[in-house]
Structure 1
């Protein structure tokens, strides 16, 4: 798999950890953007996803909201 991901997270988000663990298990490199103290990143995220929640994961241009292992696996194998 030659994929990479960006995960938008918050420190108090247990689901964010689940997404990171899932990607780690498939050895998918990711960049983490914590939106807690970064209002500019949060505004950009809302502009892109139209959602106010984390985690939001972008895998090669495809957005996945929350922890959805089925969809993440599908995107990773596209």
Structure 2
């Protein structure tokens, strides 16, 4: 099954880098949205989740706030 993963990040966020590295190491394809460079995406993210912090990931329709590899893994389709 194909996973749908989108990572919302900024250029300077160490936890964003950790999340992307985790996904890369586990062979999980994802789309990255840099909210530091895309203000419209940042606004949509806050409107959708009510959270301003990053990283945020949408994994198969479920939101994960912060670097939470256990939660990400539990939402991935095997």
- TM-score normalized by structure 1? 0.92
CA RMSD of aligned residues (A): 1.4
Aligned residues: 78
Gaps in structure 1 of 5+ consecutive residues: none
Gaps in structure 2 of 5+ consecutive residues: none
**Aligned counterpart, 2:32:** 32
Instruction: Tell me how far apart the structure 2 counterparts of residues 26 and 4 of structure 1 sit (CA, whole Å).
Output: 14
Indicate the larger mover: 20-29 or 62-71.
20-29
2:4–2:60 Cα contact (<8 Å) kept: yes
**Aligned counterpart, 1:8:** 8
Structure 1 residue 8 displacement after superposition: 0.5
Instruction: Tell me how far apart the structure 1 counterparts of residues 19 and 45 of structure 2 sit (CA, whole Å).
Output: 17
> Which contiguous aligned blocks of 4+ residues in structure 1 show a shift greater than 4 angstroms?
none
Q: Deviations over 1:11-64 (max 9, x none)?
A: 000100111011112211111000112110000000111001010000110100
